[in-house]
Amino acid sequence: MSEATSRVSERAGELRRDFDRAFAEPVRIEAAAKEDLLGIRVGGQACAVRLLEIAGLFSGKKVTRIPGANATLRGVAGFRGALLPVYDLQLLLGHSSAQAPRWLVIASAAPVAFAFETFEGQLRVSQAEILPQSSRPEMPGYARDIVRTRNFVGPILHLPSLLDAIKASRAQAAPKEE
């Protein structure tokens, strides 16, 4: 047997033992729980949305304006055979909106879409990277936590709070019956 064949046989034996050992060792479960977020940009500010709070992410959907609608309501858009209202996240957060946002997320809690300008990417963060948000006047109640990683820092928008704000504004705008 040549020296090269001997080395190959030894290496094959090492690989076989490593393979068998991998099945003999207990399965390692990741100790720190991770949370999935979408990194987005609203009014130039980095924000995040919990993946659990959305049912879908879309880009370039045609949004049809509704005459006389509330300013935060950009219009309606079709999603898989259903028309959903599309609200402008930038306006809901109290900022002015100059251009039509390109991206839309559908809330999982209600058939409503939220429009924003830029999709930054998906984030998988540990619980240690999510910190309680001190109250900030520009995002009252919509951002309860902040995510801070090496590459991303921003508030985590709470979509159920935004949905509650929309319901409250619709209730105030509805004509009162006498």
AA letter at 76: V
- What is the arithmetic mean of pLDDT over 109-137? 87
Domain boundaries, the chain: 34-172
Q: Which residues 6+ apart lie within 8 Å of 134 measured at CB?
A: none
- What is the arithmetic mean of pLDDT over 131-158? 80
- What is the arithmetic mean of pLDDT over 156-164? 92
Report residue 61's pLDDT band, with 50, 70 and 90 as the boundaries.
very high
Q: Which pLDDT score, from 0 to 100, does residue 22 have?
A: 75
Task: Determine contact, residues 127/71, Cβ cutoff 8 Å.
Answer: no
Both tokens assigned to 99? 């251009």
Angle (nearest 5°) at CA 152 between 148 and 155: 60
Higher-confidence position of 139 and 152: 152
Higher-confidence position of 12 and 85: 85
Sheet holding 103-107, edge to edge: 54-59, 103-107, 113-116, 82-88, 73-79
Report residue 18's pLDDT band, with 50, 70 and 90 as the boundaries.
confident
Both tokens assigned to 76? 């309606």
Q: Which residues 6+ apart lie within 8 Å of 92 measured at CB?
A: 72, 114, 142, 162, 165, 166
Question: In this predicted model, what pLDDT tens digit does every residue of 79-114 receive, in sequence order?
Answer: 888 999 999 999 888 888 767 789 999 999 999 999
* Strand partners of residue 116: 103
AA letter at 51: L
Supply the CATH classification number for the domain 34-172.
2.40.50.180
Report residue 58's pLDDT band, with 50, 70 and 90 as the boundaries.
very high
